């Protein structure tokens, strides 16, 4: 009888621990629509399709194009929400001396030589709405540094 009571206590203890673990898991999930949720979903959308890369090779071009369009729209949705919440900032930078391609190429060189480890590239996005404008979307705390780096990359060529 003593073994049965001990066994029952062990079973009850295991069930209680399991219930607490499941509750903690669900309570730790970010609430839908929160900044943390949009961050997670943006990163999930960014990496979406990488696992299906083998499927892409065998899929039709139309199917693949639709998947890429869906991925882009999901990323844009979450990116816009993060801008609205103030986690990300969007800033257009007018280029005066070099083309967008040259500035981005120089930016890579600057980043490699300076080892900018304190900058987050996780949510970084460059867009080109015009021929001499580079629109930067980055984490708010990093946006000034990115603008300075772009200005440095836009410096005229030395003669």
Q: Give CA–CA dist 9/14, Å, rounded.
A: 8
Calculate the dihedral angle through the C-alpha atoms of 134, 137, 141, 146, rounding to the nearest 10 degrees. Answer: -30
* Distance in angstroms (rounded) separating the CA atoms of residues 143 and 159: 31
Per-chain mean pLDDT for the chain: 80
pLDDT surpasses 80 at 23: no
Top-confidence residue, 85 or 49: 85
Angle between helical axes of 61-85 and 35-47 (0-180°, round to 10)? 160
pTM for the structure as a whole:
0.68
Output the CATH code of domain 88-159.
3.30.1370
Q: Is it the case that residue 76 has pLDDT exceeding 70?
A: yes
**Residue % of the chain over a pLDDT of 70:** 79
Q: For the segment 85-127, what is each residue's pLDDT rounded down to a tens digit?
A: 999 999 999 999 998 999 998 888 888 776 566 777 778 888 8
Higher pLDDT, 2 or 4: 4
Report how far residue 64's alpha carbon sits from residue 53's, in angstroms, rounded to the nearest whole number: 10
């Amino acid at each position: 009888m003593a073994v049965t009571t001990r066994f029952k206590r062990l079973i009850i203890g295991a069930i209680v621990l399991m219930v607490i673990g499941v509750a903690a898991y669900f309570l730790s999930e970010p609430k839908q629509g929160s900044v943390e949720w949009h961050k997670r979903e943006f990163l999930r959308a960014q990496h979406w399709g990488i696992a299906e890369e083998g499927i892409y090779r065998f899929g039709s071009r139309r199917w693949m194009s639709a998947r890429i369009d869906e991925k882009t729209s999901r990323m844009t949705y979450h990116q816009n929400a993060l801008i609205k919440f103030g986690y990300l900032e969007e800033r257009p930078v007018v280029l005066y001396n070099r083309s967008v391609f040259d500035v981005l190429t120089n930016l890579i060189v600057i980043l490699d030589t300076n080892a900018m480890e304190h900058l987050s590239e996780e949510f970084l996005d460059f867009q080109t709405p015009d021929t001499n404008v580079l629109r930067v979307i980055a984490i708010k705390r990093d946006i000034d540094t990115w603008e300075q780096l772009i200005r440095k990359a836009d410096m005229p060529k030395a003669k």
